[in-house]
Structures are given as structure tokens and as C-alpha cells.
A and B are shown apart, each in its own frame.
Chain A
Amino acid sequence: MKDRHLSLNQTQRVRLEAALHELQSLAPAAASAAAVTVADTIPVNQEDNILKGHGTSDQDGEVVATLCGVVERVNKLVYVRTLRARYKPEVGDIIVGRVIEIAPKRWRLEINFSQDAVLMLSSMNLPDGIQRRRTAVDELNMRSIFEENDVICAEVRGFQHDGSLHLQARSEKYGKLERGQLLMVPPYLVKRKKQHFHHLEQYNVDLILGCNGFIWVGEHVVVGEKTKPTGGQQRFSTEAENFTPLETRKHICRLANAVRVLSALGFTLTVELIIETMEASVSSNAEINDMLGAEFYVQTAEREAKRRADLLRKKNGAR
């Protein structure tokens, strides 16, 4: 997503700095201790037998960081992990990707990884639902299932021996995503949780938080209708009856703007936080577009600082 710069007036800047300062003081001390910037010395216990990994270099016998990030130690390996890196997949991750190419018996998807992910035709449920061997006719009709530029939700099946990533979309909940918008945020803001598909009933909206930083906000689709082949272009005629209902569209836009604001602030994206941000905008009667403005940005930072302070207080009080 392109960066948006916000111009804040003096009071807003003061408020924002106060909120960010409070958030930093609430963060656990260990987290900030491990952060390094370029040319910081990394403390190591013994000088020998340390493997210097990515982002480090040897300067005058000291291990010095060459990137800005967090120091990670695994046994004898010391490396610096940057925050805004590309997505690092793990088996079982739910991701959202865009088809960029149709290759023999597979689709290639872009998922903000260093390579394109591959979705094999055999890892995909056929439209008629029958489990059978894929024939040459199936291969010729791949475009009727997914076309170029389609947005697809799938799961990481595993890595091949050559390092390429394979996906599978065998369940009913995976498949093509339509009637909504796709947002791209830095992948480190989406943590792995038990559930990534969220059906927000009160808004009739599907929210899918892909682990690769692609977030889908769209109209709710009943599970089971996703993998139907496109019956020509009739569904996408520009008839007014065919558009998303106005109320649902407003909710979709508000949720999308909430995600944009939270990712601009660098807060971890969870469903609760997104819904809370959206409801705050509704209760303060802000216009949907005003959510991208300076005032709402500062208010969101303040709200989050207050929420974390309350949480910490409750935890300390409960002990």
C-alpha cells in the first residue's frame, strides 16, 4: 500500500507523541532491548563459536548489525530479523493471493513472498465436486475456475524440495473472493491465530486476515457458493440490483479504512481491534472518508494506549 502522509497540527502532534510514548512504556522491556539499528553492537556471550547470520557483520571483532530490526538467537546462530520483510510462510497458514499466471496444471499466485506460490489443479476442488482424476479437459478449462487477476484464499500445503511454495484449496471455505476489496499491509502486523476467517454477522461482511498481509474485506458469501464457475459475464452486469447493498458497502468501506489506519499506526491487526476502531468511528459520527484523516489517526492511537493501559492494570490487579 502506498504510504499516506498526514499533516498534523500542533495539538494533534502533542497528543500523538504522548500516546506513542505511553504505548512504548507499556511494551515489555525485553522487546525493546532486542531492537537494533544499523551499526549497533550486538551483545554476544562468547566471541568464538558464534555463527553470524543475516543482517550482521564482523567489525573489529564485534558483531555489528547491518539492518534495523530485532535480534534473534537460535542456539549458536545470531541474526537480525527486519520487520518490514517479505512474508515468511509456514505450513498451514491461511493466505490470500492474486493469480498472475496460468501454467500447465497449476496456477501461479502472488502472495508477497520472494517467489510466486503454486496452486496445483489437483489441490483444488472441481466445480462438480466429484473426486476424480484430472483429465486434459479439466486442464483446458482451468480458466473457468480461476482467471488471471482473481483473488483467491488458500492454505499453505508445504514447500517443495526446490523451495517453491505449494498451496491447497480443498475445503469449501477456500476459493475465489469477489464483491469486496483487497488491502495490503505489512505481513508482520498479522499474527497467526486460530481463526483467520471472520464472518461479521452484524455487518454481513466477510473479513479474511491473510498471514501474508493481504486482507480481504467483502460481502458475505455463503460457504459452498465460492467455487461455482462463472456463468459468463451475466453476474457482473452493471445493473443496480446486482451491486452490493448500500449498508453493507458502508460497512465494508469503514472496515477497510479501519484497517488502513491501524496499519499506518503499526498496530497488530486483530478482528476485535478492527471492529472496535470501526465502531468508534460510527459512534463519533465521523464520515467514512474522515477515518483516513489526522484527527481519527490520533484518536485511534490514544484509544489503543488507553486500552493497553487498562489491560495491564487489570492484569496487575488480578495478581
Chain B
Amino acid sequence: MVGLSEGEKHFIHGGIAQDIRTDGRRRLQFRALSVHTGVIPQAGFRTCLVASMCLFLLFLSGNALRVYVSSDWWLLVLQANGSAHVRLGATEIIASVKAELGKPSILHPDKGKVSIFVDCSPTAEPMFEGRGSEELSAELSVALQRCLLGGKSGAGAAIDLSSLIVVEGKVCWDLYIDGLVVSSDGNLLDALSAAIKVALSDTGIPKVNVSLSAASDEEPEVDVSDEEFLQFDTSSVPVIITLTKVGRHYIVDATSEEESQMSSAVSVSVNRHGQICGLTKRGGAGLDPSVILDMISVAKHVSQQFISLLDSEIAAAEAEAEE
């Protein structure tokens, strides 16, 4: 991260106080969001190697959020059940969802398992080389787990774990959600949550036929279908909105320069119904409780716009993928 001189820091503080940030955005305005789905080929599908750029421009009436959606091709050696590539300004995230058959835990025999892991690639910052990104990756993974997975018993999870069960007590789906930070320019948590939501909407869980002839204590035979898929229901998956406090004001979607000037940041995870699913506070400065309540209400307000924006993007990306 390049350092900033005192004059530049003063300029950034002034911009945020006067509601004109360095690139002209308002305090509660997001950068340009661009969403691609299906970037990692799914098992059983054939991926077309010719790049076809279908483009779609969507304006949200009444405010200055601008939305760009396009479909892209990306042939990687990996395979995933669902994937997404999200760009928020210069921050780029690739998220993938892999589903494997596993055994449910003894404490919760009627629930599947989900694990979230984030990795920061050295292409984003040179300091992420080797073990440099361990701390940041761990922090991001934990924050995402808190927001999306709920408590130990699975209560309050955004993803309905009971829908992942195949045979109660014996076979369940294990979802492995991976996020890769390719380019980092601030606001990683928001971009990661958006990428995970999009990847989950792109996920297809293969249909499983269970042979009924198995005895009750034997392992049942399962036949994983290659053709039929069940789409994941992501209507209850929340998004994370990070409010960064710089001086006396909060901003949404901070760049890395603005983040270096923050006194504290509160990340609120809100779902479609306006309910708060998770809360994280970062930064050393203390905050008055009234400030936190205000930040939560601002985040709720902003999140509704962001969720509808993201939903329309996902719909457009899916419409393109079908073409």
C-alpha cells in the first residue's frame, strides 16, 4: 500500500466531509458493480471457448447507481458447482461453490455442512505472497462465517442447512464456498459477500437417487445424477454493507486510500427482509452506541438498494448464460 502525505490525507477527509470523494462519488454511493456467473466450468457442461460478450446496461431510477453486467468465459482446471466473478470498482473477487457428499455430524443429523474460506492472491498485493495474507484471510473468513452460517447448531443460518440433507443421519451435502481476492482496492467484505451470493445463485446441486433397499445401519447407495440439478434458493442470503467512519461521517464502499484513513468500520449483514444477520466492528477507535445504531440504520437503507441491484444483475447474468 502506497503511503499518503498529510496534504492528501487532509484532502480525503475534506472530500468525505463535503460529500465529494476523490472520484466524485457521494458518501453512500457504490462504485460500478460488474457480475459474471459460471466462470468456472460445471461438471458435465461443455464450456464454449469463444468469448461472446453480450452486454446489458441497467439504470436504477431515482439514484445514481450504475450497473454493468456481462457474461465472460474463463476456462480453469478446477470445476465447481457454482461460481461468480464480481468487480466492485477495482476490487475483484472470484467465488466458487463446490458440493460433495459427506456424512452429517452426529449432533445435527438432519443438517448439511457449509464451510467458507477466503484466500488473498498475491496478484492483489505483493505482501500477500506466501503467508502474508493469513491474517487478513482468516479475518475475512470468520466475518463471512458469522454472517452466513449462524450459530453452532445452524440456527439463524442464511443457507437452509436442512435442504442439504440426502439421507438423514447418513448422507448429506457438504458445501465448500471459496473466495479468491484477485485485486484489492478496498471494501473486500462487501465484494466477497456479493460474490458468494451470486455464486450460490449459480449453484446447481445434482439430484441424488437413493436406493431404498439398504438396511438401516448400512451405508445407502446413492446415485448422483449428472443431468438434473436443483438450483439453490438464495432469496434469504444476506449481503454485507461496510460503513467506514472517517472523521465525523461514514462512507460506503471505501477505496483502499479511504480505508487507510478510517477510524473504525462497521460491517452489517442485512437480508432481503431488512433483518440483521451479523455485525462486525473493526478499527481501534471507540464508538458511541448511538453512532452504531445510526450506522446500522444507514446500512439497512443502503442494503435494500444494493440487494435489488444485485438481484437484477444476477437475473441478467443468468439470462445471458442461457443465450
Minimum C-beta distance from B92 to chain A (A)? 9
Identify whether the interface residues of A are mostly helix, strand, loop, or mixed: mixed
Residue A240 at the B interface, CB < 8 A?
A: yes
Interface segment out of the listed A28-36, A287-295, A309-317: A287-295
Within 8 Å CB of A159, what residues of B? Answer: none
Within 8 Å CB of B17, what residues of A? Answer: 238, 240, 243
Interface segment out of the listed A19-27, A188-196, A202-210, A247-255: A247-255
Residue-wise interface mask of A (253-290) relative to B, using a CB-CB cutoff of 8 A (1 in contact, 0 not): 11011001000000000000000000000000001111
Residue-wise interface mask of B (69-103) relative to A, using a CB-CB cutoff of 8 A (1 in contact, 0 not): 11000000000000000010110000000000000
Within 8 Å CB of B136, what residues of A? Answer: none
Residue B212 at the A interface, CB < 8 A?
A: no
Instruction: Determine if A236 and B6 form an interchain contact, defined as CB atoms under 8 angstroms apart.
Output: yes
Within 8 Å CB of A5, what residues of B? Answer: 34, 87
Known: A249-B20, A257-B23. Contact between A236 and B9, CB under 8 A?
yes
Residue-wise interface mask of A (177-197) relative to B, using a CB-CB cutoff of 8 A (1 in contact, 0 not): 111111000000000000000
Instruction: Determine if B7 and A176 form an interchain contact, defined as CB atoms under 8 angstroms apart.
Output: yes
Instruction: Determine if B55 and A293 form an interchain contact, defined as CB atoms under 8 angstroms apart.
Output: no
Known: A249-B20, A253-B24, A292-B32. Contact between A7 and B55, CB under 8 A?
yes
Known: A7-B68, A243-B14, A249-B15. Contact between A148 and B57, CB under 8 A?
no
Instruction: Determine if B8 and A290 form an interchain contact, defined as CB atoms under 8 angstroms apart.
Output: no
Interface size on A, residues (CB 8 A): 50
Interface size on B, residues (CB 8 A): 41
Residue-wise interface mask of B (39-81) relative to A, using a CB-CB cutoff of 8 A (1 in contact, 0 not): 0000000000000010111000000101011100000000000
Residue A246 at the B interface, CB < 8 A?
A: yes
Instruction: Determine if A178 and B57 form an interchain contact, defined as CB atoms under 8 angstroms apart.
Output: no
Instruction: Determine if B25 and A2 form an interchain contact, defined as CB atoms under 8 angstroms apart.
Output: no
Residue-wise interface mask of B (10-33) relative to A, using a CB-CB cutoff of 8 A (1 in contact, 0 not): 110111011011111110010010
Residue B174 at the A interface, CB < 8 A?
A: no
Minimum C-beta distance from B65 to chain A (A)? 10
| CB-based closest 6 A-B pairs | A178-B7, A288-B24, A7-B68, A243-B14, A149-B3, A2-B90
Measuring CB to CB, which residues of chain B are less than 8 angstroms from any residue of chain A? 2-11, 13-15, 17-18, 20-26, 29, 32, 34, 53, 55-57, 64, 66, 68-70, 87, 89-90, 183, 185, 247-248
In the assembled complex, 28 residue pairs joining A and B whose CB atoms fall closer than 8 Å, in A order, are A3-B90, A7-B56, A8-B55, A9-B55, A10-B55, A12-B55, A13-B53, A147-B5, A148-B3, A149-B3, A149-B4, A150-B5, A151-B8, A178-B10, A179-B10, A179-B11, A180-B11, A181-B8, A181-B22, A182-B8, A243-B17, A244-B11, A249-B18, A257-B24, A287-B24, A288-B24, A289-B23, A289-B26
Measuring CB to CB, which residues of chain A are less than 8 angstroms from any residue of chain B? 2-10, 12-13, 98, 100, 147-151, 176-182, 218, 230, 233, 236, 238, 240, 242-244, 246, 249-250, 253-254, 256-257, 260, 287-294
